Amino acid sequence: MKRRELTLAGVHLGEPLAGPGTVHVDLVNACNAACVTCWDHSPLLSSPRPASWKGKRARAEDVDRLLDDLGTLGGLRSVILSGMGEPFVHPEIHAICESVKRRTLHLTVITNLLLADPGKVLSIGVDQLLIGVHAATAESYRAFHPGTGEAEWTRLLASLDRFAGAGKRFRHVQVICATNAHELPAMVRLAARYGAGGITFKLASLLDGTERVALSPEAREALVAEGIPSAREEASRLGVATNLDVLARQLSAGGARTAPIAETGCFMGYAYARVTVEGDVLYCCDTEVKVGSLASGARFSDLWLGPRWQDLRDRLRSGRYFEGCSRCGKYAQNVALGRAFEEAYGTRRLLQVTGRA
């Protein structure tokens, strides 16, 4: 049975048939950037993170131990390396990447690319980079990344050019807020220029002071009426894959919500998990939905098969969501899994397993 089929069968039955297909491992809390939308490093935050928190990082040997344990569950296909900060800040990032690749797993790194060594990324064989661009021009790049200048934008473009020359079709990530919402078509052209494998658009989820860069109602209307249609036309003309349909759905949620999750359902409990620098095991990417802690001596495999995780699956399966679910960071993945489940098991069953019937 293929990995996607395993996940969907688990959703149908109500319990996983294997371990998660994707595990997201945070390596560091520190970051070399200060994105205005970031919940951890934005200069707009009302309550900035303390230096003690920013100094924490995962140990390479603990990542190895986690990967070994995941292997006992079966089903693991991909690893995402990131952090509440920038993973290339970690002094052992290359060794950790090599450890993942030795296990023949698909490796994705989420990065702003400014500290990455393109030559090392290519030689290690990193399968995918999700590159936080968040702009299409130097001006909007500086607005989204206060403290940066022309040098950082130029460095980013040089790395994109290096990867394009090597035939690597890494994805661009564009988090949309007031600083860049006018640039959607230009973002598509930028992706085409550097041979990106596609663009993941996300409506910024904002809190604790970062709401200052929220889209106004007028800007939302302009995106729906003009920005997204124009970007779709450019994407079609240039052959750039996007998830503009998901961005449109996020905009339709209204207010501070960025994910109409009740209309989609949550499938992460059968497909995905995240482990923080501190060793906290999260059900999804919401730090408030914690399953347990590896720091206490627990094994990931025991948590995955344990009652706490299953209780969370059952809760979300019945449509009883958490407050943070309205800002779901895995919304695009849930949309994709929901569509695949409906195709495999039908609309009636989809409604049943998402608490809508």
Determine the Cα–Cα distance for residues 129 and 116; give it in Å rounded to an integer.
10
Determine the Cα–Cα distance for residues 214 and 256; give it in Å rounded to an integer.
9
Determine the Cα–Cα distance for residues 239 and 245; give it in Å rounded to an integer.
16
Mean pLDDT score, 174-181: 98
Please report, rounded to a whole number, the percentage of residues in the chain having pLDDT higher than 70: 99
Helix (H) / strand (E) containing 291: strand 290-293
pLDDT tens readout for residues 265-317 = 999 999 999 999 999 999 998 999 999 999 989 999 999 999 999 999 999 99
pTM: 0.93
Helix (H) / strand (E) containing 3: helix 3-13
**Domains along the sequence of the chain with CATH:** 3-12+20-261 (3.20.20.70)
Helix (H) / strand (E) containing 247: helix 244-253
Mean pLDDT score, 221-227: 95
pLDDT tens readout for residues 237-257 = 999 999 999 999 888 877 666
Q: Mean pLDDT in the chain?
A: 96
**In 149-268, which ranges are E strands?**
171-176, 198-203
346: Cβ–Cβ under 8 A, 6 or more apart, which residues?
none
Say whether pLDDT at 1 is over 80. no
Instruction: Report which of 87, 331, 16 is spatially closest to residue 200, judged by C-alpha positions.
Output: 331
pLDDT at 327: 84
Label residue 93 by pLDDT band (50, 70, 90): very high
pLDDT tens readout for residues 23-59 = 999 999 999 999 999 999 999 999 999 999 999 999 9
* Cβ atoms of 287 and 253 closer than 8 Å: no
